[in-house]
């Protein structure tokens, strides 16, 4: 149990996917203008990252590794993610139109969100140490890790969107307007998150 707690704290705060690992920065910058779109995107990302990680984990373990095809990892994973996003879109449209309304427009963008592919590849190639000796994650840990990482994505996104909404009201020098000031703000935010390092 303690191990899962460590995974969660580490993935959300210490190794925050945007602020420490630089994954998914493009959509992070793209949709964090408004709190409402940021929340929508976070929800969609959460859903897809967790689902994609579980599916790619199983494909890797029961298909690519036994057949000695691990060099096809990149190509197999991206196809699985693309297909998965399509399926999620179709299913969501059928069973929950209201959820589809909220997340729908973000779904097609997620295929090229490197956070999804990044987490999927990390989980099957990296060793992790959570309190004990280094080991590859098992399915349960991988799922928790993926979920926590995407929650970290959501946290960073929602916090940043809140700041950007405030920033839109303030008087920013001409050359700083738009993305430059946004990047500088994220830099300061990343500095704050550095304070979490070492607690796990």
CB of 118 to other proteins, least distance (A): 6
Q: Which of 50, 73 has the CB closer to other proteins?
A: 73
- Residue from the set 38, 147, 151, 186 that interacts with other proteins by CB under 8 A: 186
- Residue from the set 58, 65, 79, 168 that interacts with other proteins by CB under 8 A: 79
- Show contacts with other proteins in window 101-120 (CB under 8 A): 111-114, 116-118
Verify binding: residue 15, other proteins, rule CB under 8 A. yes
Q: Which of 97, 195 has the CB closer to other proteins?
A: 195
CA–CA dist 152, 46 (Å, integer): 9
Q: Name the token pair of 40.
A: 């929508």
Verify binding: residue 87, other proteins, rule CB under 8 A. no
Give one DSSP letter per residue of 115-153, joined into a string.
HHHHHHHHHHH--B-SSSS-B---HHHHHHHHHHHHHHH
E strand or H helix at 193: helix 179-194
- Residue from the set 135, 138, 139, 168 that interacts with other proteins by CB under 8 A: 135
Task: Show Cβ contacts of residue 138 under 8 Å, excluding neighbours closer than 6 positions.
Answer: none
Verify binding: residue 122, other proteins, rule CB under 8 A. yes
Verify binding: residue 190, other proteins, rule CB under 8 A. yes
- Residue from the set 1, 67, 71, 95 that interacts with other proteins by CB under 8 A: 71
CA–CA dist 195, 5 (Å, integer): 19
Backbone angles phi, psi at 135, to 5 degrees: -160, 160
CA–CA dist 56, 121 (Å, integer): 9
- Residue from the set 5, 35, 78, 159 that interacts with other proteins by CB under 8 A: 78
Verify binding: residue 51, other proteins, rule CB under 8 A. no
CB of 96 to other proteins, least distance (A): 25
With tokens 């979920």, the residue in question is 147
E strand or H helix at 30: helix 25-30
CA–CA dist 165, 170 (Å, integer): 10
Question: Which residues here bind other proteins, judged by CB under 8 A?
Answer: 15, 19-26, 29, 71-75, 78-79, 82, 111-114, 116-118, 121-122, 127-135, 175-176, 179-184, 186-188, 190-191, 193-194, 197-198, 200
């Amino acid at each position: 149990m303690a191990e899962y707690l460590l995974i969660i704290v580490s993935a959300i705060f210490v190794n925050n996917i945007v602020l420490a690992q630089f994954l998914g920065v493009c959509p992070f910058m793209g949709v964090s203008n408004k709190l409402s779109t940021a929340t929508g995107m976070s929800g969609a990302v959460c859903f897809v990252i967790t689902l994609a990680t579980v599916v790619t984990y199983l494909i890797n373990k029961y298909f690519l590794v036994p057949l000695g095809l691990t060099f096809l990892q990149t190509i197999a994973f991206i196809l699985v993610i693309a297909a998965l996003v399509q399926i999620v879109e179709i299913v969501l449209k059928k069973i929950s139109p209201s959820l589809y309304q909220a997340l729908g427009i973000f779904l097609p963008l997620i295929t090229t969100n490197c956070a999804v592919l990044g987490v999927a590849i990390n989980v099957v190639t990296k060793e992790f140490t959570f309190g004990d000796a280094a080991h590859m994650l098992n399915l349960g840990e991988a799922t928790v890790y993926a979920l926590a990482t995407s929650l970290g994505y959501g946290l960073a996104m929602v916090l940043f969107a809140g700041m950007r909404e405030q920033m839109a009201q303030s008087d920013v020098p001409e050359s700083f307007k738009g993305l430059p000031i946004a990047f500088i703000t994220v830099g300061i935010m990343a500095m704050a998150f550095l304070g979490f390092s070492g607690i796990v």
